[in-house]
Amino acid sequence: RKEVEQDPGPFNVPEGATVAFNCTYSNSASQSFFWYRQDCRKEPKLLMSVYSSGNEDGRFTAQLNRASQYISLLIRDSKLSDSATYLCVVSHTGRRALTFGSGTRLQVQP
């Protein structure tokens, strides 16, 4: 079983739609959580960190459920420019490296 699991998609949604991605992690010692965005043939870039109380950044909302060990990302009012792969990332104090999921591909259509 992979340490971080994501639905690969693709999620095909129309502009303006709301879309949500979930990610599950297996290591209960995980302490830090992030969502990264990766455009085709580009490097991953941080979209947002995920805090225990949940956090919002414009159209993006991230939630963490430690009891069920999952993280979610909600995108409201989708834009064409949101089309990308969204990578769920976790780390824990026993391991300094970030562990990435395989990513969820989003395609926003006009």
Partner 1 sequence: DTGVSQNPRHKITKRGQNVTFRCDPISEHNRLYWYRQTLGQGPEFLTYFQNEAQLEKSRLLSDRFSAERPKGSFSTLEIQRTEQGDSAMYLCASSKGDRNTEAFFGQGTRLTVV
Residues that bind partner 1 (CB under 8 A): 4, 8, 31-32, 34, 42-46, 49, 87, 91, 95-103
* Contact of 49 with 33, CB cutoff 8 Å: yes
Give the nearest distance from C-beta 89 to partner 1 in angstroms: 8
Helix (H/G/I), strand (E/B), else coil: 82: helix
Residue closer to partner 1 (CB basis): 40 or 110: 40
Residue closer to partner 1 (CB basis): 67 or 97: 97
* Contact of 105 with 11, CB cutoff 8 Å: yes
Residue closer to partner 1 (CB basis): 10 or 54: 10
Q: Tell me the C-alpha distance between 84 and 8, whole Å.
A: 12
